[in-house]
């Protein structure tokens, strides 16, 4: 297990750009809201800890994780530097889990390919509720915190690469 004995909430603030000038969009699934609210809390705390301003953070809710794709696509057009997609899909008795996980993963990947505004994947795809609890503020820390740090770094990458154009040749 990738997160075994690893707390996802640990980061070295000295290695992270100051987030005060970046605008963040956060799209949160209402399904499994105990988990997604924990992820949101971790993301919000990390963003603020790294300098993000309340007025530069926009949150939208969508009904479920599958709807994150549409919500993130629309959020990319809201004058933000980066979007964080927060969701939780927990294995059930049917193949629905597989279809939702695959669709959300591919959909968010597609948004990253077609848009200049990065979308950070903070969607837990766990086998059971305990695994989700452990990763949304439990014994493994908070995946939302990790997503926020990734968002800051990607916003900085976007800023740094803006206007550089494509390099042709070798």
Q: Is 31 marked within a binding site?
A: yes
Q: Is 135 marked within a binding site?
A: yes
Catalytic site includes residue 96: yes
Q: Is 149 marked within a binding site?
A: no
Catalytic residue among 56, 77, 96, 140: 96
**Closest CA relative to residue 75, chosen from 63, 65, 61, 64:** 61
Cα torsion 104, 120, 38, 22: sign: negative
Alpha helices in 50-142 (DSSP H): 68-75, 96-114, 129-135
Exposed (0-12), middle (13-18) or buried (19+): which is 28, by Cβ within 10 Å? buried
Q: Is 88 marked within a binding site?
A: yes
Q: Is 121 marked within a binding site?
A: yes
Q: Is 93 marked within a binding site?
A: yes
Binding residues for 5-amino-6-(D-ribitylamino)uracil: 31, 65-67, 88-90, 121
Binding residues: 31, 65-67, 88-90, 93-94, 121, 135
Query: Which residues are known to be catalytic?
Result: 96
Binding residues for (2S)-2-hydroxy-3-oxobutyl phosphate: 93-94, 135
């Amino acid at each position: 297990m990738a997160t075994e004995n690893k707390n996802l909430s640990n980061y070295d603030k000295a290695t992270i750009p100051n987030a005060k000038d970046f605008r963040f969009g956060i799209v949160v699934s209402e399904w499994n809201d105990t988990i997604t609210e924990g992820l949101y809390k971790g993301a919000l705390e990390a963003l603020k800890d790294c300098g993000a301003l309340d007025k530069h953070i926009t949150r939208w809710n969508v009904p479920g994780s599958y709807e994150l794709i549409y919500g993130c696509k629309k959020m990319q057009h809201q004058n933000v530097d980066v979007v964080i997609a927060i969701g939780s899909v927990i294995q059930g008795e049917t193949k629905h889990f597989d279809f939702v996980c695959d669709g959300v993963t591919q959909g968010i990947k597609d948004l990253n390919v077609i848009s200049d505004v990065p979308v950070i994947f903070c969607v837990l795809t766990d086998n059971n509720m305990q695994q989700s609890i452990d990763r949304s503020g439990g014994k493994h820390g908070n995946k939302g915190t990790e997503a926020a740090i990734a968002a800051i770094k990607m916003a900085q990458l976007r800023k740094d690469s803006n206007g550089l154009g494509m390099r042709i040749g070798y």
